[in-house]
């Protein structure tokens, strides 16, 4: 395969072939107000030390807040939390209005009913083209196998299920 001119829209379509989980990443701004954004660009980096990463568009209102935040929380959404994902994917309105949450590490918002939660100290922030790559050291985490994770693939929400070839007869 030779190099090609990259069409941004088509490139995003190609990336959508790779299913991802759906998260809402939260922190507090300098005034102590909660900030959150839906992100599917989340993955593990290291087990020792326990590091994860996610990325945020540099044009996002929250980018500078996350760049300077000492802590953040990654709420891995469960399959019934599409409304939570949609709320934090939007712009403008008070995303936390009438939204139940509790303060986690550093006061970062933690949502009830998530499939997993990673509470992090910011390890480093790197330039990643039009995004910031935020690496966090996991200070605490929880998870449950009783809640299926929400998945995003091919431009829409999905649910991960066991492949039929692995089903027990």
Which residue reads 């309105």 in tokens? Answer: 93
User: What does the H/E/C string look like for the chain?
Assistant: CCCCCCCHHHHHHHHCCCCEECEEEEEECCCCCEEEEEECCEEEEECCCCEEEEEEECCCCCHHHHHHCCEEEEEECECCCHHHHHHHHCCCCCCCCCCCCEECHHHCEECCCCCEEEEEEEEEEEEECCEEEEEEEEEEEEECCCCCEEEEECCEEEECCCCHHHCCC
Structural fold of domain 8-166: Pnp Oxidase; Chain A (2.30.110)
Exposure pattern of 96-105 as b/e (b: 16+ CB <10 Å)? beeeebeebb
Q: Which residues of the chain fall short of a pLDDT of 50? A: none
Alpha-carbon span 148 to 130, nearest angstrom: 32
What's the confidence (pLDDT) of residue 126?
Answer: 98
And the tokens for 145?
């196998």
Whether this prediction's pTM lies above 0.95 is answered by: no
Residue 125: predicted pLDDT = 98
Domain regions of the chain by residue span: 8-166
Is 119 in contact with 73 (CB distance < 8 Å)? yes
- Cα 158 from Cα 81, distance rounded (Å): 12
d(CA 36, CA 38): 7
């Amino acid at each position: 395969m030779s190099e090609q001119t990259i069409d941004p829209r088509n490139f995003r379509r190609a990336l959508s072939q790779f299913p991802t989980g759906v998260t809402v990443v939260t922190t507090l701004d300098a005034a102590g107000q909660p900030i959150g954004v839906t992100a599917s660009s989340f993955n593990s980096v290291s087990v020792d030390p326990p590091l994860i990463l996610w990325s945020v568009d540099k044009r996002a209102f929250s980018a500078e807040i996350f760049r300077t935040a000492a802590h953040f929380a990654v709420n891995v959404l469960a399959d019934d939390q599409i409304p939570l994902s949609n709320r934090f994917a939007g712009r403008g309105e008070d995303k936390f209005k009438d939204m139940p949450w509790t303060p986690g590490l550093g006061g970062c918002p933690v949502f009830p009913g998530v499939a997993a939660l990673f509470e992090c100290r910011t390890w480093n922030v790197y330039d990643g083209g039009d995004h910031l790559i935020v690496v966090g050291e996991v200070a605490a985490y929880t998870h449950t196998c009783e809640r299926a994770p929400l998945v995003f693939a091919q431009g829409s929400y999905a649910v991960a299920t066991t492949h039929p070839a692995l089903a027990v007869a």
